[in-house]
Structure 1
Amino acid sequence: MPTRALVFDFDGTLADTESAVLQAWQEVFRAHGTELPLEAWYAVIGTQHTTPAMFALLAERAPGVDPDALRPVTKARVHELLETLGPRDGVESYLETARTQGIKLAVASSSSGAWVNPHLERLGIAGYFDAVLTGDLHRAKPDPDLYLAALDALRTPANETLAFEDTPHGVTAAKAAGLTCVAVPNAITERLDFRQADVVLPSFTAKPLEALLSR
């Protein structure tokens, strides 16, 4: 069966934004005299629950914290850390190969469109995608809704579509929608369990898209 479409998660997959977000939260926790346990981060990574979960945990560890006061500070620090961030190594090669071969492309992200779309533009890769599906309009992962919406937008069947993810929550969503899923963990997620994925690559540079499609 030929591959007619590729659907990419955004955070941590197309660009390693998760490292910047984690660093910003770690700095917030340390500024309040405590540490952010990585287990708590891993429990929510790839979902829509990161920010509320982090504020709830911080409130437990540092009573009296004002989330409304910290929110703009944390957001500004994240954007500062992301200013020089580019796509993950090998991503642009995958996108260019897909475009050359006439393969449709989409993004399926639990993050909001207000987060994803400006970053796609800043990274210089927005023009590759036929559709961008985001968590402000669809149920977040691990629910399959984002992937089902991507299939509908691209008008391709699940068995002719590959998903690319960097978290187990994302893999769960893709598999629940019936897609073959390639996990490409980043430095933050590489220690997590990706047994549910059909293929696990250490990076996009580890195998060219052409070789992946010929499997």
Structure 2
Amino acid sequence: MIKAIVFDFDGVILDSERIMYLVMQKMFQRYQVNLPLSIWSQAIGTQHGFDSLGYLEEHANVKIDRDAFKEERDALFNQLVDEEEVLPGVKSVLNQAKSLGLKIGLATSSKGEWPRKHLSRLGLSDYFQSIKSWDDVQKVKPDPALYIKSLESLEVQPKEAIAIEDSFNGSLAAKRAGMYCIVVPNAVTKQMPFGHVDGSFKSLQDVSLEKIIRYFSPELRTKA
């Protein structure tokens, strides 16, 4: 029986991954270097998955002041992200989970201050009984540690929980933890391979959590 739902943050709750890619593209263009999505996607859903500045230095044949680059990148990124609202359907699924009595967690490869800041800004903090982040583990996604920590915190077994992800690295982490996983790919993750997940949706809008739970609960299907 499904007892919990665990959200990823970037790309699922907030459209931050698309914005970061746009910012990086803009900054790469100054050096007349293209940043293909197929290359950038290595960085999505994890930390240290892709040395973007090393890639830029190699293709522009220049030495980059990394601290200055990151400072400017983060300033541009934060300015844009601070104007973003929660992605469509997120509040609906959160309210459905609450009404169904599910425990709600969050597992993100970002540092903890990042999701907490935006969950507060978006008025979503009170929904979450557990938040596990980069600060809580030695290895982030695609390693399963974040999801294992979430399951322990919520006091549920892997097959009693559903992860909601948008990236290959994130969904792989959830499956490695033994959980069910549904994905909601976005503009920068839709080209990723998701053959290993349990379901895929274009958006969380109009998603019936009750139907998903029934699908993942054989005992309920038998009684139907």
TM-score by length of 2: 0.91
- Cα RMSD (Å): 1.2
> Which runs of 4 or more aligned residues in structure 1 lie more than 4 Å from their structure 2 counterparts after TM superposition?
none
Pairing 1:13–2:32 present: no
Residue aligning to 1:95: 94
Match of 2:56 among 48, 55, 58: 58
How do residues 1-215 of structure 1 correspond to structure 2 at under 5 angstroms? 2-49=1-48, 53-62=51-60, 63-138=62-137, 139-215=139-215
The SS at the match of 1:214 is helix
Whichever of the two has the greater Rg, that structure is: 2
User: Aligned partners of 1:205 and 1:188: how far apart in 2?
Assistant: 19
User: Aligned partners of 2:125 and 2:20: how far apart in 1?
Assistant: 21
Match for 1:156: what amino acid? V
Residues 85-115 of structure 1, C-alpha deviations (whole Å, 9 max, x = no match): 1111000000011111210001100111122
Cα drift, residue 116 of structure 1? 1.6
Gaps of 5+ in 1: none
Residues 115-146 of structure 1, C-alpha deviations (whole Å, 9 max, x = no match): 22111111221110001100122121000000
User: Aligned partners of 2:126 and 2:51: how far apart in 1?
Assistant: 33
The SS at the match of 1:196 is coil
User: Aligned partners of 2:25 and 2:123: how far apart in 1?
Assistant: 29
Match for 1:55: what amino acid? L
The SS at the match of 2:51 is helix
User: Aligned partners of 1:104 and 1:8: how far apart in 2?
Assistant: 11
The SS at the match of 1:107 is strand
User: Aligned partners of 1:134 and 1:19: how far apart in 2?
Assistant: 20
TM-score by length of 1: 0.95
Equivalent pair of 2:46/2:140 in contact (CA under 8 Å): yes
Gaps of 5+ in 2: 216-224
User: Aligned partners of 1:188 and 1:34: how far apart in 2?
Assistant: 19
The SS at the match of 2:5 is strand
Match for 1:171: what amino acid? S
Equivalent pair of 2:89/2:207 in contact (CA under 8 Å): no
